Structure 1
Amino acid sequence: MAEKKKSGLISHGVAAQNRKGRFNYSILETVEAGIVLKGPEVKSLRMGRAAINEAYAGERDGEIWLFNSYIPEYQGGVLSRFDTRAPRKLLLHRKQMAHLLGAVTRAGASLVPLDIHFNARGVAKLTLGLGQGRKKEDKRHAIAERDWQRDKARLLRSKGKDY
């Protein structure tokens, strides 16, 4: 869970989440990447109002960038304007970048942003998933599996520990 300071800012924890990412894609592996942000963007992220539901990651000039993520302007009295949907550079090691870009070109995988969070040191990080798109029947299977797990947990709770 996210801890909050007295000022209402998130010191560490999840700032934005892509809840549909794990539903629409079967995630093969995840990578934690740094994000290049400006000061007001970090403050706005700490307020927890960002959205990465429609965001995607891709290659530009041999580097991986985050496109179409929404970070609203910070309203804390600072008069610095920035583009709310600007592409943001992701910080990864060269080997990680080569591995991810190779998987995207060879296997047709997608780079799915899963969440933006603050680590224990207070640095903004993006969890990036390498995923294959799911078909409609796979999504139905995932829904059925999730429902069964929930019903099973309910049954076990109602039975108690003496089963």
Structure 2
Amino acid sequence: MALEIANGFERTADVIELFDEYTKWIVSEDPAVAEVLRAQGYGEETASLDGKYGPPGGMLLLALVDGAAAGCAALHAFGEEGACELKRLYVREAYRGRGAAGALVRRLLDFARERGYTHVLLDTLPFMRSAIGMYERLGFVRTGAYYPSPYEDTIYMRLDL
């Protein structure tokens, strides 16, 4: 298995397909999450990936396994000075447990440090236990809400860089 972390802007159709798989999966786990996606402007996000995740402050990544799209993740400037937000981390089930998610997040963290961000924020959901464990191993800690979510069980995390 050859894992490569690539620029997602070079294969946006694959990224959008992965984003859509991700959103279908999380809504299937809990239909109430659909309201969170609406509140986050998910439709506008996929219509303008470069607007949200483009340079200089953002990054969109695609994990490739033997050339096939296996996962994705993104990062963008967020709110307060020095803050950025990690979004849309998703790895297809067939590729999970092989290090793709960790490689995506580590690349985004390196980018955040290079850009001078002071901390990374993220939100996640209680049923994403594997992701939460990985975030904690990478040094993320639970924090207070950094935006109002319509989903009361949203878990907010932060990593100081």
Q: Give the TM-score of the pair, scaled to structure 2.
A: 0.28
Higher RCO (Cα < 8 Å, 6 or more apart): 1
Which has more strand, going by share of residues?
A: 1
